[in-house]
Every structure is written in structure tokens, then in C-alpha cells.
Amino acid sequence: MILKKITPATSDDRGSIADIFYQTSMQHAAIVESKQAGVVRGNHYHKQTTQSVFVIKGRLRYWWQPVDRSQPPQSVLVEASDLVTSPPNEIHTMEMLEPNTFIVFSSGPRGGQDYESDTFRVPSIVPAKH
């Protein structure tokens, strides 16, 4: 898991421009809206796909763990303008702390007819009481 705060690359009196990715190939992007706190999304990993989540508004807790479970689950708070990335073979789960909106970017099979072709579901890695 890699967490990166996205900051403006340039700005002037009209506003700013922040690069989310630069010189990176993406095959899919989707906007996800979670309407309430307590919702959990994810609980899966990909064998081929690198998946990145860019939070537009709100907050979530991002959980990750190696697919071989050689380490315990870990988490990080992800807020607006944060980008979190999971490489292949890393279980990832998002716990919504409040209503939020984020964009999921995928490099590898993920969208349209490929949506489930590289998605492997697992039981939740979010501890019952944390």
C-alpha cells in the first residue's frame, strides 16, 4: 500500500491543477459514492491489477494485507486529496467513516466485461473491534 497526498502542480488566480497520475497507464476509472458511514467495500485482491483510490470528499479507513496473510491487516486514514494504491496480491478493504466520494483507477483488467475477471473475494480483514 502506498499513500500519497495530491497537491497542486501549478496554480494561478484561476485556481490550481493537481496531477493524480503522470506517465502512468490506466485501463479503467470509476466514481464511487458511499452514502453512509459504516459501509464496507472491497474485501478482495487482484492477481494482475494495481488499484488506486483517490478520495474527492469525505474520509475512509483503508485496510490492506498481503494475500498470503504473512502480516496482520494494517490500516490508514484516507481523506480528500489522498491517493492510496494497492499492488497485485494485496487484499484491500475500505471502511467508510462518513459519506464520501472517490475515484478508483485500475491498471489491469477491472472495468466493463472485465469487472470480475481479476477480482478474488475474501472474508473481511477489518477487525471486529478496532
Total-model pTM: 0.87
Question: For residue 28, is it within any domain?
Answer: no
- Domain range holding 80? 40-110
Segment 95-115, tens digit of pLDDT: 999 999 999 999 887 777 777
Q: Domain with 86 in it: what CATH number?
A: 2.60.120.10
Considering the domain boundaries, does residue 91 fall inside one? yes
C-alpha cell at 110: 477491472
Domain membership flag for residue 52? yes
- Structural domain total, the chain: 1
pLDDT tens-digit readout, 32-51: 999 999 999 999 999 999 99
